[in-house]
Amino acid sequence: MKFNLSDPLAGLVPPNTKICDSHVHIWNADAFNELEKWGQLYGVKRFMGIAQPEVKKTLEQNGKAAEIIFAYYLPMQAFAEKKPETIIEAVDEAHSLNYSLTKTWFGPRQIDFFNTEKLVSISDPIFEPVFTRIEEYGLPLDIHVADPDIWYSTKYQDSERYLTKTQAINDFYTVLERHPSLKVISVHFGSLPEINNLLQLEDLFQRFPNFYVDTASTKWIIRELGKHPQKTRDFIIRYQDRILFATDLSVGWGDHPEDYIPTRYWAQRLFWETNVQKVELPFSDEDNPNPPTFINGLNLPQSVLERFYWQNSQDFFNLSQ
């Protein structure tokens, strides 16, 4: 089986549930049309969209409010440069503009992007008032905590500069411990989809009842979770209430091939819903040291798909159907 734009639903049957994509980036309002169009084909009825205030406003004026749960991207540079006042102003704005959640990113590349002297730690006490403010508003936090294991052994060998993944995850534990009522979606399966990390993820689920993960980053998720389909399947069934379907598709910025959106939805749906084996991922995965990356389907039970595709996100964001 192979992805083909002339038959973009090959191998799939219509899902018995609506789907919410709980992690997309919408950089301009017109670009949302593409997501909406492909969403209709793949059964995606709602999106958690990270969008700037003017984009949000235009989308609302265009009548798209019911389809999008809006997230406010907190200023990364202010984190990198340790300017908590700037971030707090942004949190206040997110609250006053009726955003449903805040989004932040703590990848080690932060130090390269902003040319700062030292990589900041999320648990640096200087950020405490930020998380306290978010918690006070009852705004959930969507957060990128760390990168794929493989990047730490390739791109980030300089652990003085980029710190270690263990350190990034431990710093995040500290924040969760300090803010027990903060509701969190830790993206990319908590940055822990590698099979050896699932025990740690289990510990996070057990210790923090407000901790959730999404399945964004199609290639990272399918590459790692697909290495051990049975273990992954059992794990997802066990934590089926805490996992949200998501892609991390990004529209309105940069060039993407024509099949960018459908290949992600096709690959993920095939992975969660079917028992296909060794279907080649329909786009390149430059992180795989032994390419190609294969889709090894998990064939999740229908009741789990209903939670994972739709109900968990609607519960998380307190939405009625």
- Interface contacts to Zn ion, rule CB under 5 A: 248
Backbone angles phi, psi at 200, to 5 degrees: -70, -40
Q: Which of 220, 231, 313 is nearest to 267 (CA)?
A: 220
For residues 188 and 233, which CB has a smaller minimum distance to Zn ion in the complex?
A: 188
d(CA 321, CA 18): 10
Q: How far is the CB of 106 from Zn ion (least distance, A)?
A: 12
Q: ω into residue 15 within 30 of 0, thus cis?
A: no
Q: How far is the CB of 2 from Zn ion (least distance, A)?
A: 27
Q: Which residue is nearest to Zn ion (CB)?
A: 248
For residues 87 and 246, which CB has a smaller minimum distance to Zn ion in the complex?
A: 246
For residues 224 and 248, which CB has a smaller minimum distance to Zn ion in the complex?
A: 248
Beta strands in 4-117 (DSSP E): 19-26, 44-50, 68-73, 101-105
Residue 149 tokens, joined: 């294991």
Residue 208 tokens, joined: 């923090």
H-helix or E-strand containing 144?
Answer: strand 141-144
Q: How far is the CB of 48 from Zn ion (least distance, A)?
A: 10
For residues 88 and 185, which CB has a smaller minimum distance to Zn ion in the complex?
A: 185
Q: Which of 231, 184, 235 is nearest to 207 (CA)?
A: 184
- How many residues are given for the chain? 321
Which string of b and e fits 249-273 if b means at least 16 CB within 10 Å?
Answer: bbbbeeeeeebebbbbbbbbbbbbb
For residues 132 and 250, which CB has a smaller minimum distance to Zn ion in the complex?
A: 250
For residues 27 and 294, which CB has a smaller minimum distance to Zn ion in the complex?
A: 27
Q: How far is the CB of 306 from Zn ion (least distance, A)?
A: 25
Q: How far is the CB of 312 from Zn ion (least distance, A)?
A: 18
d(CA 321, CA 315): 10
Q: How far is the CB of 38 from Zn ion (least distance, A)?
A: 17
Q: How far is the CB of 104 from Zn ion (least distance, A)?
A: 11
Beta strands in 184-321 (DSSP E): 184-186, 211-214, 243-244, 249-251, 279-280, 294-295
Number of helices followed by number of strands (H, E) in the chain: 16, 11
For residues 254 and 289, which CB has a smaller minimum distance to Zn ion in the complex?
A: 254
For residues 149 and 248, which CB has a smaller minimum distance to Zn ion in the complex?
A: 248
Q: How far is the CB of 229 from Zn ion (least distance, A)?
A: 25
CA distances from 29 to 75, 90, 228, 309 (A): 20, 21, 39, 24
